[in-house]
């Protein structure tokens, strides 16, 4: 069973599982039903992770579950939905899986729950020293705590924590850095956040999918695995993007204080016109820190590997061009 199969990562995972010959149950909300694939290996169940009947029906005949469904957004008009979906929905899924004797679950969270790399790269042993920056991070951490609880009840759950995922595919809120690449290549992005020296970790979509499958095959229940890629600063990110694409777009350094004002305006516009803001003040605060990540545990335990940022970026740019998504 796969939840979140119509999302960026979930759609790639579903394709890979089909290629491997698996029979899959997809739990899909009504408004997303038209996005699902049609295949004899797939059975689609219309429902929601907040509805136990939906979960129970979709689990019948399944041995394993990949749980990717989440509210992954920079903002929502109803902040409580982050906790309803990401925490309560995940708890209900775990509870129903326990009743149905599911053999193993891989739960996809986020590297953001570990916090920024204050003095050195984050690992699974890192202790968070700063507060959570937004409701998405908080709700995901709460869901991770529920995973630990249900492991103690006998349910085998492995948690994976991807970093900043990018690559070909759905240009949704879960794929913001591919959207950023596209805007830059179209000449529509001119901002260098802060001084350009804040560090981030970028992981190619195929590597995350392979990491999810490896976690199902070899991951130890009760453990967490950071699925990262390459660390780089914003300056390095845009320099690499320019070198690979051959497009040199002039960027203007935007002080974080000014970026925060822009974020406040974005939220006001979102509330007025009922649209998603490009960024919020909480997310600006998040990007005032370094987010270096070490994936050694996943490499050693799962056989995980990842593309360099240059390799993944080249594939992504070629895809954007091939799909005529760059004007």
Asked whether the predicted pLDDT for residue 35 surpasses 60, the reply is no
Residue 117 lies in a domain: yes
Residue 276 lies in a domain: no
Burial of residue 131 (number of CB atoms within 10 Å: 0-12, 13-18, 19+): exposed
Residue 55 lies in a domain: yes
Q: Report yes or no: 293 and 117 within 8 Å, Cβ to Cβ.
A: yes
Q: Identify the CA nearest to 167 among candidates 311, 16, 20.
A: 311
- The per-residue pLDDT for range 172-225, each reduced to its tens digit, is 888 999 999 999 999 999 999 889 999 999 999 999 999 999 999 999 999 999
The pLDDT assigned to 37 comes to 62
Cα 49 versus chain centre, distance: 18
Q: The tokens of 254 are what?
A: 């935007």
Residue 274 vs residue 113, higher pLDDT:
113
Q: In the chain, count of helices (H) and strands (E)?
A: 12, 12
Give every CB contact of residue 130 below 8 A, 6+ residues apart in sequence.
Answer: 115, 116, 118, 289
Residue 211 lies in a domain: yes
Q: How many CA atoms lie within 13 A of 225 on its CB side?
A: 32
Residue 91 lies in a domain: yes
- The per-residue pLDDT for range 73-85, each reduced to its tens digit, is 888 888 899 999 9
Q: Work out how many domains the chain is built from and give that number.
A: 1
Domain range for 24 is 2-173+201-231+291-308
CATH of the domain at 51: 3.40.50.720
Residue 189 lies in a domain: no
């Amino acid at each position: 069973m796969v939840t979140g199969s119509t999302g960026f990562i979930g759609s790639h995972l579903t394709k890979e599982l089909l290629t491997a010959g698996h029979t899959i149950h997809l739990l899909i909300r009504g408004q997303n039903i038209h996005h699902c694939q049609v295949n004899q290996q797939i059975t689609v169940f219309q429902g929601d992770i907040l509805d136990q009947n939906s979960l129970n029906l979709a689990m019948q005949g399944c041995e394993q579950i990949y749980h990717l469904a989440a509210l992954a957004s920079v903002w929502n008009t109803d902040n409580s939905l982050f906790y309803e979906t990401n925490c309560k929905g995940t708890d209900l899924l775990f509870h129903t899986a326990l009743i149905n004797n599911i053999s193993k679950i891989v739960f996809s969270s986020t590297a953001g729950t570990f916090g920024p790399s204050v003095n050195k790269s984050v690992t699974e042993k890192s202790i968070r020293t700063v507060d959570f920056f937004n409701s998405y991070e908080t709700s995901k951490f709460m869901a991770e705590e529920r995973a630990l609880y249900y492991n103690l009840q006998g349910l085998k759950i492995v948690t994976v924590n991807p970093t900043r995922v990018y690559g070909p595919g759905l240009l949704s809120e879960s794929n913001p850095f591919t959207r950023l690449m596209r805007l830059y290549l179209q000449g529509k992005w001119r901002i260098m956040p802060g001084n350009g020296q804040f560090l981030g970790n970028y992981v190619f979509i195929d590597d995350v999918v392979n990491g999810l499958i490896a976690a199902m095959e070899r991951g130890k229940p009760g453990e967490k695995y950071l699925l990262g890629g390459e660390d780089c600063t914003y300056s390095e990110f845009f320099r690499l993007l320019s070198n690979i694409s051959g497009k040199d777009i002039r960027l203007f350094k935007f002080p974080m204080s000014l970026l925060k004002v822009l974020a406040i305006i974005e939220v006001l516009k979102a509330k007025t016109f009922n649209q998603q803001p490009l960024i919020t003040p909480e997310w600006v605060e998040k990007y005032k820190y370094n987010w270096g990540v070490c994936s050694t545990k996943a490499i050693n335990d799962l056989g995980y590997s990842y593309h360099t940022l240059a390799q993944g970026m080249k594939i992504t740019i070629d895809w954007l061009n091939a799909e005529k998504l760059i004007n």
